Structures are given as C-alpha cells and as structure tokens.
Amino acid sequence: MLIHNTPDLYQKVNLLGSQAQYDLCEAQGQPTPLPAVQASAAGLPDVSDSVATVIGQGGRRVPLLRILQTSACEKNCYYCPFRAGRRMRRTTLEPDELAAAFDLMLRKRLVEGLFLSSGIIGTVRTMDRMLATVELVRQKYQWRGYIHLKLLPNAEEAQIERAARLADRLSVNLEAPNEARLARLAPKKDFEQGLVEPLQRAWAIVRRLRSQGHAVASAGAVTQYVVGPAGESDQELLAASQRLYRQVGLRRAYYSAFNPIDDTPLQEEAPTPPRREHRLYQADFMLRQYGFDVAELPFDGQGNLPHDRDPKLAWAARHPEAFPVEINRAPQGLLLRVPGIGPQGASAIVQARRSGRLRSLEELQRLGVRSQQAAPYVLLDGRSPSHQLRLFPV
Ligand code: SF4
C-alpha cells in the first residue's frame, strides 16, 4: 500500500528533519544538508532538510536521515526551540511512517543511515515509539547499516537494552557539565538520575551483551553540551567529559556553542563565540587522543582555555621543561605531547625509526607531522632542526 508515499508524509519528514538540526551529536560543526535537487532527481518531494551529510570513517561524507520522531515536548528547557508552550509548527511521525520513509530514502540512495532523536511527550511512551521505529527499520525493512538512537532522559532499563541491541550508536545529551549548571538550563531534568544514569546503564548493558558474544552498539555512546548560557567554565565541561570517558566508556562529547532562540527564556543571552567551541574540541582531543589529564590543560584563573592559541601549543609554552623531545628515542606518549605531532604521526615515527634514525624535518613531514610547528620542540639525532635547516635548507 502506498499510503506512506504521500507528499504529506515527506513534508513531515522534511519538517522534522529541519527541526533535528539542533542536535549535533553526529558531527563536529554544522553538517551540510543534501541539495534539494538530489531528492527531486530521485522522484521524491523535497526532503533535503532532513538529510545531513556527516564525516564518517576515513573522512568520507555520509548522508544520514537526521530526524525527530516528534517536535512536541512537555519539558521546558530554556535554550530549546521545542520547549513546551513555545509557538511553533509541531508534528509527529508514527513509527510505520518514519520507517517506511527511511526505507524509501535508502532505496533511492539519498541516505546511508539514520539518526533518530525526539521531543518528549511521556518519556516511556516516546522512547517506545522511537524503539518501534527502529525495530521496523531493522526487522521489517531489514536495514543492517548505521543507526544512531537518542536515549531520552530517564529511559527505562529494558528500553536501554532494546536500544543497545538495535542501534550502532547511543546518545544522551547532558547539555551541562553538572547538576548546578543544568538547573540553569533545564530545571525539569535531573542530571545524575535522568542523564548520567542512563549512560551508566547503557555501558553496563553493552558490556554484558558483548561478553555474551552479541555485537551491540559498536559505535559506542556520545553526548552533547550546550556551551555558554549556564556560565560553566571550559574546565567544568572537560572534567565532565573526562569522567564519562573513564567511567562509562563514552566515545566522544560534542560541544555546541549556544545561539539564542526567539521566544525562549534565554533569548537575550549573548551567543557563544564559535572559537570557544573550537578550542573545546581541541582540548577534548588532547584528553581522548594525546593522553592528557584534564588537570594538565592550560586553563586560566577562571577555568577557561585561551582563545588565541591551540591548547596544545599553550600547554607547551607553559612547560618548557618538557622539551626538546628527541624524536629518535622518545616513547610514543612523549611524542604525542609535541605540537604538530598527532596520533598518526607519532605511530609513524615509532614505526619508521625501527629501520633507521630520523634526521630531518622533511622526513617528519613525510610521516604526517606538521614539521614547522614541531621544529622548536624536538631534537633530531641530538640536533635542533633549526640548526639542521640552516645546514640543509628546504
Ligand atoms: S526535553 Fe529535549 S526537546 Fe524537550 S525542551 Fe528539553 S531539550 Fe527540548
């Protein structure tokens, strides 16, 4: 029956897709929508606002149907366009509608995965609707590819387990780094019980299922913060992320610079500078990929990162005693502390020096190091590269 293939349905898909843009848990920065022309070339009404291309493995751009089950919500989070009572166009998709639309978009090759979030009209009821949608996608339409499913605050244990069995990625948006900050943004949400606990439960369930041989939630769990309006410091945000990386196996955190939305209690607040968001991502990378502890990060007296320079460079400037690092001898962990050397560069150096000594910046460059940035911090076979540069100019 073609009841699902109606212009009305795709208008709802497009609206709920455009409304899902506020959830950035699938990309750093703003994902780009699919050009409308691709949808019409596929013989569908315009659904371009519902498709976001995000960066996948190996840097490939992957189009996802990023959508809300409903834009109706009973909560009143101060930053959110969907907060109860705000005048806006709202709509809902039934599980069979959303699953059928996704299946058709897959078959038209418009998308390669699903990211499903939602407003809340009864946590249990809404979570069940989302799970029913994903069950249809998996079971009726036999989709084996990528699904990211949002866990709603206070989701039940059984719902979390169903979600872990169905989705590749799970997420819970903390929005703030702790209870006190969250109270300034979303007074009806409970930080520990409503948000952190579902992440803890999800982690316990995923580990149990994996130990029984099930391949569940292979892309792990992620979270998102609204950066700025609660007055939190960068240190609070990054400390919260580090706690979750260590305690609940969080795969990554997304930092979303606040932008005020009309007709919300925070409409007069200043937007958060995008530069702050960028520095948070760089510092978060230092926690996840470079082996830094949050206590080592170069915060100022208010607990904020400098905006005018990369935090790894700022850390190096504060720690002259850590340099220079001898490229031919230093353990990988020390190489990772050098500005300009990333995880791939550090691995490549360790690999390359098994077959001979590294003596020039050109060699480092070929191994993926930003050699000009690294030069002031390293020795190559006992010599400073600037000395070598004078001898062997590039
Ligand atoms: S619960 Fe979610 S959708 Fe509802 S107002 Fe809060 S942030 Fe917005």
Half-sphere exposure of 86 (CA within 13 A, CB side): 25
Atom in ligand 1 nearest the alpha carbon of residue 80:
8
Cα–Cα distance, 88 to 261 (Å, whole number): 12
Q: Which fold has domain 2-270?
A: TIM Barrel (3.20.20)
Give the pLDDT score at 289.
95
Give the pLDDT score at 24.
54
Task: For residue 184, report the distance from its CA to the centre of ligand 1, in Å.
Answer: 14
Mean pLDDT in runs of 10 for the chain (394 residues)?
Answer: 65 90 57 58 76 80 92 94 92 96 93 95 96 98 96 95 96 96 94 94 94 90 96 98 96 94 95 97 97 97 96 97 97 97 97 94 96 95 70 38
Task: For residue 146, report the distance from its CA to the centre of ligand 1, in Å.
Answer: 24
Residue 266, SS3 per DSSP: coil
Apex CA 252: angle with CA 249 and CA 257, to 5°?
Answer: 145
Cα–Cα distance, 334 to 319 (Å, whole number): 13
Task: For residue 186, report the distance from its CA to the centre of ligand 1, in Å.
Answer: 8
Atom in ligand 1 nearest the alpha carbon of residue 118:
3
Torsion angles phi and psi, residue 32, rounded to 5: -100, 135
Give the closest residue to 326 by CA, choosing from 317, 334, 316, 318.
Answer: 334
Taking CA atoms only, the protein residue closest to ligand 1 atom 6 is 77
Give the closest residue to 193 by CA, choosing from 177, 176, 179, 207.
Answer: 179
Classify residue 202 as exposed, middle or buried by CB count within 10 Å of its CB (0-12, 13-18, 19+): buried
Classify residue 394 as exposed, middle or buried by CB count within 10 Å of its CB (0-12, 13-18, 19+): exposed
Torsion angles phi and psi, residue 171, rounded to 5: -150, 150
Torsion angles phi and psi, residue 142, rounded to 5: 60, 30
Atom in ligand 1 nearest the alpha carbon of residue 73:
4
Residues with CB under 6 A from ligand 1: 73, 75, 77, 80, 82-83, 119-120, 186
Domain boundaries, the chain: 2-270, 320-391
Atom in ligand 1 nearest the alpha carbon of residue 74:
4
Taking CA atoms only, the protein residue closest to ligand 1 atom 5 is 83
Taking CA atoms only, the protein residue closest to ligand 1 atom 3 is 119
Task: For residue 273, report the distance from its CA to the centre of ligand 1, in Å.
Answer: 23
Cα–Cα distance, 292 to 277 (Å, whole number): 19
Task: For residue 137, report the distance from its CA to the centre of ligand 1, in Å.
Answer: 25
Task: For residue 215, report the distance from its CA to the centre of ligand 1, in Å.
Answer: 31
Taking CA atoms only, the protein residue closest to ligand 1 atom 1 is 75
Strand residue runs (E) in 36-80: 51-55, 61-68
Atom in ligand 1 nearest the alpha carbon of residue 186:
6
Atom in ligand 1 nearest the alpha carbon of residue 175:
7
Task: For residue 161, report the distance from its CA to the centre of ligand 1, in Å.
Answer: 23
> The whole model's pTM is what?
0.89
Task: For residue 118, report the distance from its CA to the centre of ligand 1, in Å.
Answer: 8
Residue 213, SS3 per DSSP: coil
Q: Does domain 320-391 have CATH number 3.60.21.70?
A: no
Atom in ligand 1 nearest the alpha carbon of residue 81:
8
Taking CA atoms only, the protein residue closest to ligand 1 atom 2 is 119
Give the pLDDT score at 44.
72
